[in-house]
Structure 1
Amino acid sequence: MECLGCIRAFFAANQQIPEYSRLPPVHLDTHFMGENAVIVKNGYRLCGTGGSLANQPIAQNKAYFEVKLQQGGIWGVGIATREVDLNKLPLGTDYRSVVLRDDGCVVGGGQIRHRLPQPVQEGDVIGVAYDHVELQFALNGVDLQVATSGIKGEEVYPVVYVDGGAVMEAAFSSFYHAPPAGYQRILVEQSLL
């Protein structure tokens, strides 16, 4: 009977009301990454070989995230569905992803949609804005004017991939540059039980 009293006292003292206002952070997802990809720095830095999706889909109308090129090599950043093969690089070869690649091309569905007017270099920050119709890229806060159509009718996630020594670091909040007007960080959907 004494143990039952201790258990009741423990649970009475440790009852906590969940904080619905505190959202879990968005980060690169170790459950949806390539076999040889390595995620470090609390889920924000990708190295090795392969891709990674973010742990949250882009659910709101206008979402923004950034990726900083820490070290050059083979890389890509954009959006993808969960059906994308994160081991088969480069991405953009099918309708499961649309990405900006290290060669300066925006590629989706196996087709080059745009070529950047300038190369991306180490230390540069790539901004990605998506409104479920159009995918836009910025370089160091300047719109690259290479808007392209996104992936229609599918749930999409931010995607980053690396190979050849590239290192990319994602930022899903605390951005280097202000998002375009009307865009904001990726919001986390919550269900109330």
Structure 2
Amino acid sequence: MAACFCCFRCWPGGGFRTGHVPLKEIPTVTLDMSHMGGDVVIVKSGRRICGTGGALGNAPLVQDKAYFEMKLQSTGNWGFGIATRKCNLNVLPLGSKSESWMLRSDGTISHNGECLHKLEAEIAEGDIIGITYDHIELNFYKNGTPLNLPVTGIRGTVYPATYVDEGAILDVQFSEFYHTPPAGFDKVMFEQSLL
């Protein structure tokens, strides 16, 4: 019994340890208040965007297979996708320049000012848009169903990105999803949590 007690109170080399060892907490993935447009408002613990402009997530998409979601709370002009840190978050709509790839409220998937795909069905309030990204393809899902409109040729370090205008309100989910991610995909993680 004495050996067991010593295990809990003594450290190798003898003696007692005073204080405690602080645990390093892994930060939560949210919308990044240091990378957002000047007229953007981020609330709900970094998960809701409103106002006018864009915002990036606070974690790059460095893992092999990332998944995240957005719920359309209120219509207006909006976009949801990925972007680099070079993206100007005050110039809307995102997807107009080479630094962003966006599904927009008009039903287009746009990059560098080009419409890459056009959705057949409208996206309405309450719909959930999911995104998968594996460094080869970016794919979108509506209410858990694949849209089968892949985007390829993405280069560089990218982040989850979204924008709002004209009264749009979006909630972004980086964990605790509405729909089960496709096989092999998982929530966005910080680089140190991948080790």
State TM-score, norm by structure 2.
Answer: 0.87
Q: CA deviation at 1:75?
A: 0.1
Q: Which residue number corresponds to residue 40 of structure 2?
A: 37
In the alignment, does 2:95 pair up with 1:89? no
Task: Select which of 61, 65, 86 maps to 2:64.
Answer: 61
Letter of the structure 1 residue corresponding to residue 18 of structure 2 = A
Aligned amino acid, residue 189 of structure 2? L
Corresponding residue for residue 183 of structure 1: 185
Structure 1 residue 120 displacement after superposition: 0.4
Q: How many residues of Structure 1 are paired with residues of Structure 2 in the alignment?
A: 177
- Structure 2 residue runs without a partner (length 5+): 1-16
Query: Against the structure 1 CA distance between its residues 72 and 150, is the aligned structure 2 distance closer, same or farther, given a 3 Å change threshold?
Result: farther
In the TM superposition, what are the counterparts of 1:94-109 in structure 2 within 5 Å? Answer: 94-109=97-112
Counterpart check, 1:110 vs 2:113: yes
Q: Is the 8 A contact 1:79 1:98 kept in 2?
A: yes
| Paired position in structure 2 for 1:138 | 141
C-alpha displacement at 1:150, in angstroms? 4.9
Output one character per residue of 1:16-44: Cα deviation in whole Å (capped at 9) or x when no partner.
2324xx53210000000000000000000
Q: 2 CA distance for matches of 1:162 and 1:132?
A: 26
Aligned AA (2:147): L
1:16 corresponds to 2:21: yes
**Aligned-pair RMSD on alpha carbons?**
1.4
TM-score by length of 1: 0.88
Query: Displacement, 1:12?
Result: 3.5
Contact preservation (8 Å) 2:63, 2:191: no
Q: How does 1:154-165 map to 2 (within 5 A)?
A: 154-165=156-167
In the alignment, structure 1 segments of 5+ residues that lack a partner are 1-10
| Partner of residue 9, structure 2 | none
- For the residues of structure 1 that align with 2:183 and 2:135, how far apart are their CA atoms? 16
CA-to-aligned-CA distance 1:27-64 (integer Å, 9 cap, x gap): 00000000000000000000000000000000011100
- Ranges of 4+ aligned residues in structure 1 off by more than 3 Å: none
